[in-house]
Structure 1
């Protein structure tokens, strides 16, 4: 584990050095080279300046509430529809075309179409919901199908209540599938949600700040806000997966 961590740190240090050298080369070659590529030090310094302002945390909270709200809503909807599809083949058949369409259609197309129906403040919720749904739905459906039939038969023979079947049989076997889907879905919902904000420009969002930085050639701000999006996404992913692992541990106990 220590060796792997060392390799990762060296790799990160290498690419940071490449970034720094690239920024220095552009700054030396062009009078305004810093507008093309901000250095990692300049970006980090700007992130530190932003992080001590209330406006920064309001933007983070605004985006997080809507994007993660769309993610959680998608998980709940996917779980309900996966259970329905596993029980009724007709439901699975009817859900297959829209699920395939969402998987195949570029996110930008959905964002532009959704702007016709929704205002920009609701757009990140809808896009995060839509992009996460196929991954969670298909993984949960597969997890339900892979549930041990012998355990279910034994539960029926001994008249185990449905709630205890859900907690003691389905949950331990479905949670690994859900964890895998959630790990992928959390990254996907942030990418799609921020893209929706950049296009829809809801006031006070992280996506709006990214767009503003690009319009005014505030390159350090652009890199700083990008780093903030990555950091917030990673923190929420780790916290959510720890919660799923805790539930899995209780279900298996």
Structure 2
């Protein structure tokens, strides 16, 4: 159902070239406080991985951002279904969705920090970044469905649950997947930014802030590398689950 888009994958030779450029630039500057070398970053990363604090920070950030992503995905999907079915719901939510899309993340972080504790800030911010993306994609996916499928379901008296699972889900999944692919990157970026400002304890954002304060460039790059790696891994796993669900739905039929 979904293409692999092999051409979009990062090639090893291209990554190697940029690592060489990075190493050359770091050596030319000669000041690791300005630009640390990739070798020093990897060494520091291995040192961090062996500490309990690293895993506490990684787990704290991951759980908060995951909670925000799941809440945004669930809320966006449910409300998108309502908006696609009832025009008034769509009209009511449209100003809210457009506002969330337009307001800068930094503004949301500062505003939300007035109302909630720093520990929950990244959850709310991740939710706000994910919700409009999922809502818009799922709503548009439902609207783009072939109306003849719904008519067929009525004619053959297919039960509602089976319609949702084998007709609506299969048609909307490509839109949902595209929304998740975009939202996953946004929620990680915004969630970590919220942590850097809110400074909840035992989070990646707190470590990034401390690295900046103490001009600890190796730590700054090492934690940034962790963010990129975890974000990419989480996206691949989640999208793989969606692909498996799509294949399973496509293989299975229904019985009256």
Say yes or no: TM over 0.5: yes
Q: 2:95 aligns with which of 94, 97, 111?
A: 97
Q: How many angstroms apart in 1 are the aligned matches of 2:148 and 2:68? A: 36
> Equivalent residue of 1:35, what SS?
coil
SS of equivalent residue, structure 1 residue 128? helix
Equivalence for 2:12: 9
Equivalent position of 1:84 in the other structure: 82
Picking from 198, 201, 211, the partner of 2:199 is: 201
> Which aligned segments of 4 or more residues in structure 1 are displaced greater than 3 angstroms?
3-7
Once the two structures are superposed, residues 31-51 of structure 1 have per-residue CA deviations (whole angstroms, 9 ceiling, x without a partner) of xx1111110000011011111
Describe the SS at the equivalent of 1:230. Answer: helix
Structure 2 matches for 1:215-234, cutoff 5 A?
215-234=213-232
Deviations 1:175-204 (A, max 9, x none): 110101101100110000000000100010
Q: 2:8 & 2:178 partners in 1: Cα distance?
A: 23
Deviation at 1:5, TM superposition (A): 9.4
| Paired position in structure 2 for 1:123 | 121
Q: CA deviation at 1:93?
A: 0.4
Deviation per CA, 1:25-78, whole angstroms, max 9, x where unpaired? 111xxxxx1111110000011011111212111111100000011001101000
Q: 1:116 to 1:17 in 2, by over 3 A?
A: same
| 1:11 to partner: Cα distance | 1.6
Alignment of 1:1-253 (within 5 A): 8-27=11-30, 33-253=31-251
What is the TM-score of this pair, normalised by structure 1?
0.95
Give me the whole-angstrom Cα distance separating, in 2, the residues matched to 1:45 and 1:112. Answer: 35
In the aligned structure 1, how far is the partner of 2:7 from the partner of 2:197? 39
Corresponding pairs, count: 247
RMSD: 1.6
**Hey, what's the Cα distance between the residues in 1 that align with 2:140 and 2:9?**
37
Q: Which runs of 5+ in 1 are unaligned?
A: 28-32
* Gapped regions of structure 2 (runs ≥ 5): 252-256
Q: CA deviation at 1:4?
A: 5.9
Contact 1:147 1:169 in 2 (8 A): no
